Amino acid sequence: MTPTEILSDEHRLIVAVLDCLDEAAAHLDSGAVVSPDFFLDAAEFVAGFADKCHHRKEEDILFVAMTARDMPQDSGPVAVMLREHDEGRQYTAAFRSAAEQMKSGNESAAADVVRNVFDYVNLLREHIFKEDHVLFPMAEQIIPADTMQRVSDDFQRVLDEDTKNGIPAKYRALAEKLSQYVSEKTFVA
């Protein structure tokens, strides 16, 4: 697989978790009681997989190769993606904090969970669409074959390191757990 195919494949797993988050937040928004642990687990997935594993490859490898080809990092597509990554981190921290407050008995924090989850899900859906349909094809066009091979080699080193540490398996299992909770409605407290 090419680096952009790897990233797009990872997007499918992230989207599956976004779907779970969206459904759980909708239940919470409708007045149903949803376990704060569901949102804490989802925040763990986002921070551990979407941010550390996935965004690390984008930010530290692919975007660097793109900016080396005269694509500015402080404006244009790469800058937009970086800004959206930061925005996503803020939403994740906010819904994690609100879920921790819920877990401590603050029922009014549920509204903050809902708002930040919906904002995060909407941001990420649009973000992933832009990456898959605009940025990644652009990367394939502007990065020369020899540089793309180095990007691929760097991706493989990251993937090997993550696999050695059990990271992909851990987060795929967590995504499956979240999906199972939603399908069985066991996220309801």
Distance of CA 186 to the CA centre of its chain: 23
Both tokens of 26, joined, read 């909708």
Nearest to 56 by CA among 169, 149, 165, 162: 162
- Cα distance between residue 84 and residue 79, in whole Å: 9
Q: Mean pLDDT for each consecutive 10-residue tract of the chain (189 residues)?
A: 95 97 95 93 96 93 92 86 97 98 95 98 98 96 95 95 92 95 74
- pLDDT number for residue 129: 98
- pLDDT number for residue 134: 95
| Half-sphere exposure in the Cβ direction for 92 (13 Å, CA) | 21
- pLDDT number for residue 73: 79
Domain range list for the chain: 3-184
- pLDDT number for residue 74: 82
**3-class DSSP state of 34:** strand
For residues 60 and 78, the answer to whether their CB atoms sit within 8 Å is no
Both tokens of 78, joined, read 């790469």
Any idea which architecture 3-184 has in CATH?
Up-down Bundle (1.20)
- pLDDT number for residue 185: 74
108 CB-near residues (< 8 Å, 6+ apart): none
- Cα distance between residue 115 and residue 29, in whole Å: 9
